[in-house]
Structure 1
Amino acid sequence: MATSNMPQIGQIVRVNRGRESGSYAVIIGVVDQRYVWIADGGKRKSDAPKKKNVIHLELLPAISSEVADSITTTGRVTNGKLRFALTKYADHESAKAQEKGE
């Protein structure tokens, strides 16, 4: 699990400010404590990530090991892996919500 104040590569985030607010993305690079590079593999591709201020993001406790491993070994990640990580997270959250509702 990630700490709430330090962004990590592969961490799932929710965008709270800007044009893409309400959408989810994955951190694919950390500039410093304040800025990160995010991509979602769909609208925002991994070869053209968005530099985002951390205070405009909600850092979620989920970290995609597939994305983190790919970036640490090859230095890059495919858009398919980013989409897979976000879909897996969304499926996990919806299953958790259904359990809570029953």
Structure 2
Amino acid sequence: MRTFTRGMLARSKAGHDTGKLYVLTEADSDFVWLCDGKIRTLDRPKKKRRRHIQIIYQIPGNLRELIEEGGEIRDEHIRKAIKEYERQRDCSNQQEV
């Protein structure tokens, strides 16, 4: 089993939030805690089973820098990281068409 690292992106595969993009904030052997910076903030992360998410083994640039520097991640950093990833994904999909 691959390890999950704080700051990685994850997409929900099951539940009422199917397809929603989150940032992983914590993980143990069975569960992960996810934040989106809006509804699921760092104060109230979403607890989800590992099998119910698809991990994206990528940490967005702004979060990677903060984690490496030991800085504090805030909800606005998470919102920006998710928005940046979705924008890059949309651009790459448009170029393929």
TM-score by length of 1: 0.81
Q: Does 1:27 align with 2:24?
A: yes
User: Does structure 2 retain, via aligned residues, the 8 Å contact 1:11–1:63?
Assistant: yes
SS in 1 for 2:58: strand
Q: Does 1:15 align with 2:12?
A: yes
After TM superposition, which residue ranges in structure 1, 4 or more long, deviate above 6 angstroms? none
Q: Does 1:86 align with 2:73?
A: no
User: Does structure 2 retain, via aligned residues, the 8 Å contact 1:67–1:85?
Assistant: yes
Gap runs ≥5 in structure 1: none
Q: CA separation of 1:35/1:65 partners in 2, compared to 1, >3 Å: closer, same or farther?
A: farther
User: Does structure 2 retain, via aligned residues, the 8 Å contact 1:9–1:68?
Assistant: no
Gap runs ≥5 in structure 2: none
| CA deviation map 1:57-80 (0-9, x unaligned) | 011132124335545624x42110
Distance 2:78 2:37 in 1: 5
Q: CA separation of 1:28/1:71 partners in 2, compared to 1, >3 Å: closer, same or farther?
A: farther
**Equivalent AA in structure 2 for residue 94 of structure 1:** D
